[in-house]
Structure 1
């Protein structure tokens, strides 16, 4: 019969302030079906991997996990109503059982987290037991992050187009305009005109470099009735790191009512965005007819400082855009992505354009503009003079 090793460690404390700690300097390993129960702080200063069996965190006082080496457990369990504070990562290779209490990490940074390695999973997450901080996955493609705060479980479902070498997620019940856990602000008024209102109740932070969709649920505490009276206008939005404004991540699936439901985003790259939250959008037809119109333009690239380039101020509302310009015969003479008022009467396409090196001929031109952020297309005329 296979020999089994059972290890039970119970270290009593005189008081919380005088709580002792278990130090690992390289002499501990959990064998198959072995059990190691932590009732005190754990300082891991040596490799602690290759473990099998169960590592459980129990008791009624907060347990802190710290040290120089990341411990790697096979099965992990938490039944500690005061929780476990992670000052370094914990790697889980098989299963984590949430019973009572939260794993907590430092939300001001994402360097400490509960990490689920390849094929690792969990059971039992609830409002009473979850991760109040960062959860990570390693070499996994799809995952539901059991994140929340001290009061509620607020999971985020990640579905990626490929395997994530590393992805992380945390939940914040904070106002994006002035979050207490992050040293930056995410102005909810810095948005394209098609985004009507953005939640100031909560947000998620997701890290990962694989194109993905996410699904997030809401409840009464999300107060989506402050954003809209139409559940079909609810979308997910992300704070773009490059242009520093909110971008519509769209909604490919929405279900529920304003008190509870969920929304699934379109595909996006998480690392392009700082945080994600709920928003409502304006009906595109109403937006086009009542808010935004483009004109016919006059271009006179003669160096006098007036109308020397094609300036379209409305494109500031949609930095993600494409412009194409055609002559009266339908020949494309100019194309640009994310246009920033660069057209000065010269062609930039590899086509046969008369007098291309000297500038385009005087005359009428036709433009087509696509504003991806607003999901809108415009077309009109431009007259080029010299």
Structure 2
């Protein structure tokens, strides 16, 4: 990363300056350790290619990048507390260094964005310095988009099965049913019945043709505590372009509580969905589920002292059909029982888990899932197994 440079002017035969803007009307290149700094608007109407060097935006006043030709930069430095507004796309070949200020673009114009090319990356992003508009990638498989609104960074991490020729992302701290920055609307009441509530606080718009997973987080500003009873109620939902309604995309990982946390989605194709946000599972109407929102976490010590010798789910009706699965911390299944009636006493009953089976499972944290097919309910939790 190059040192911060303050550059008041740049002179070149193909560049003419005016009082309120710098015009590039003839193609030129920036090589090696060359640098150019903008303290005013930049109007680019001819090719600008920086194979090396630094282009920076500085100053407290807002700066605009305009014109009909998209510049390609090597290193970009943003030290502009007043913000830099993109009227045309900027391509980055190496590093975008966020020092101060936001890089903004219209959320309603999908043809203008900050584009991170094959090997490009970024540094320094936080709530006060990020992309408050559209960020894009070219020829990347995994990328964390440094997007947010004007006051908060709300990144989305994309992990695709194949390289994306192009993908883009934007974040809106707006009600999907009535956003004011884009023309599309996504009515939060139009949803499949397996969805309970849908966030009216925020959403992301992601484009990609590749099967992918995404990771997003929530915080107190998301106000999911108004929608979900527990973190396990939170799910990723997407506005289906085909069905014109919100559907469940689902989670492959989930962590945190209703105040803050993150989820990673199941695999899906982003281009099938016009928007992504948080939803919840419906509130249960089954009596058992209402009385038992969770089966709890447990302690098991199979030492024959008559206390916690086996795993007992206190709220589980032993006469009702069920399936119990137990996993170790590596995700390996170590126990399974249909119609479980307190059989687990620290030993594996899985054929392919044979190492030291007669000695019992090692002490540590284990995870369980309980399925109740008649009630169409699933529970999960953990317990500590002591030698």
TM-score (norm 1): 0.69
Q: Contact conserved, 2:196 with 2:283, CA < 8 A, in 1?
A: no
Structure 1 unaligned regions, length at least 5: 1-5, 12-17, 291-374, 377-386
User: What is the CA–CA distance in structure 2 between the aligned matches of 1:213 and 1:280, rounded to whole Å?
Assistant: 19
User: What is the CA–CA distance in structure 2 between the aligned matches of 1:78 and 1:275, rounded to whole Å?
Assistant: 29
- The answer to which of 275-284 and 82-91 deviates more is 275-284
Q: Contact conserved, 1:147 with 1:154, CA < 8 A, in 2?
A: yes
Partner of 2:251: helix, strand, or coil? coil
Deviations 1:171-222 (A, max 9, x none): 0000011111122321111111111100000000001111101000111000
Deviations 1:32-64 (A, max 9, x none): 111111111111111111431111100111111
Q: Contact conserved, 1:7 with 1:34, CA < 8 A, in 2?
A: no
Deviation (angstroms), 1:257? 1.0
| 2:192 is aligned with 1:192 | yes
Q: Contact conserved, 1:79 with 1:98, CA < 8 A, in 2?
A: yes
User: What is the CA–CA distance in structure 1 between the aligned matches of 2:71 and 2:167, rounded to whole Å?
Assistant: 19
The aligned counterpart of 2:206 is: 206
The aligned counterpart of 2:334 is: none
Query: Counterparts of 1:155-194 in structure 2 under 5 Å?
Result: 155-194=155-194
Query: Counterparts of 1:292-307 in structure 2 under 5 Å?
Result: none
Deviation (angstroms), 1:227? 1.0
Deviations 1:337-376 (A, max 9, x none): xxxxxxxxxxxxxxxxxxxxxxxxxxxxxxxxxxxxxx99
Deviation (angstroms), 1:28? 3.7
Query: Counterparts of 1:1-386 in structure 2 under 5 Å?
Result: 8-10=7-9, 20-26=20-26, 28-282=28-282, 286=286
The total of aligned residue pairs comes to 281
The 3 A distance-change label for structure 1 pair 59 and 196 is same
The 3 A distance-change label for structure 1 pair 284 and 253 is farther
Deviations 1:229-254 (A, max 9, x none): 11011111000011100010101101
Deviation (angstroms), 1:112? 0.6
Q: Contact conserved, 2:158 with 2:213, CA < 8 A, in 1?
A: yes
Deviation (angstroms), 1:20? 1.1
Deviations 1:73-92 (A, max 9, x none): 00001000010000000000
User: What is the CA–CA distance in structure 2 between the aligned matches of 1:286 and 1:107, rounded to whole Å?
Assistant: 43
Deviation (angstroms), 1:286? 4.8
Deviation (angstroms), 1:283? 7.3
Structure 2 unaligned regions, length at least 5: 11-17, 291-375, 378-387
Deviation (angstroms), 1:111? 1.0
Deviation (angstroms), 1:145? 0.1
The aligned counterpart of 1:359 is: none
